Amino acid sequence: MNVLIAHYSMLGHTNRLAEAIMQGAKGEGATVFLMRIPEILTEEDIKQRAISEFQKSFKEIPICTQDSLIEADAIILGAPTYLGNMCAQMQYFLNSLGKLWRDGALVGKVGSAFTSSGSQHGGQEAALLSVHTTMLHLGMIVVGLPYTFKGQLRIDEITGGTPYGATTIAGQKGERMPSENELAAARFQGKHVASIAAKLGKK
Ligand SMILES: Cc1cc2nc3c(=O)[nH]c(=O)nc-3n(C[C@H](O)[C@H](O)[C@H](O)COP(=O)(O)O)c2cc1C
């Protein structure tokens, strides 16, 4: 069973969740491919944002292609929340899938999403739903983060984690990295998605 984790990350938070999701899916026996969604900003744009050591290592991750999607049994998409939506990089990539949509190439594959936002109530769930909407148009079977992951009920500390998918809160300047609870949510989601894909794959 092949699980593809395709994500975009500017500062590293979504990437950190992606790695935890990978751990969870591997724990379920899946073969996992961690890939990145191509950049659409110019080098100049990126320089103006004064970013970052992280971008160097992010660029070493293989780029997700349309073939990567076709080969996967489950596709988990990670996109930071931008203006209450998935980031433009992910939207642009998904908007290029017209042929796969027409061919029904992703119909019946398991889909799931995760995100990072700057603030605690900055639109994480809306961003995840925006990915889910596209997945449904592509005929995918959308899977979230069930409440059997008890960590999403915590109120003793600030935490991400929603029934729509794993999340983290990055802080206004990206100063907060994912907490242990948020990473546990991501591992849970990875395992959960892989287990559902395995069940669907059984004849
Ligand atoms: C163009 C833009 C729009 C953003 N919009 C939001 C937003 O609507 N809500 C929010 O909480 N954070 C917002 N942020 C902050 C990002 O969500 C934050 O930088 C991101 O989660 C960090 O993830 P990364 O480290 O994976 O890049 C925005 C950032 C940018 C660059």
pLDDT for the residue 138 = 98
pLDDT for the residue 108 = 97
Residue 75's CATH number: 3.40.50.360
Atom 17, ligand 1: which residue's CA is nearest? 117
Residue 195 CA to ligand 1 center (angstroms) comes to 30
Confidence of residue 203 (pLDDT cuts 50, 70, 90): low
Q: Which of 51, 81, 85, 124 to mutate to test the pocket of ligand 1 (most atoms within 8 A of CB)?
A: 81
Residue 96 CA to ligand 1 center (angstroms) comes to 23
Cα distances (Å, whole numbers) of residue 74 to 56, 63, 82, 130, 201: 28, 17, 25, 18, 10
pLDDT for the residue 82 = 98
Q: pTM of whole model > 0.85?
A: yes
For the chain, what is the domain count?
1
pLDDT by residue (tens digit) across 133-153?
999 999 999 999 999 999 999
Nearest to 160 by CA among 61, 6, 10, 16: 16
* Residues spanned by the domain of 64: 2-201
Ligand 1 residue neighbourhood (C-beta within 6 Å): 9-15, 80-84, 116-119, 122-123, 170, 174
pLDDT by residue (tens digit) across 33-81?
999 999 999 888 877 775 677 888 999 999 999 999 999 999 999 999 9
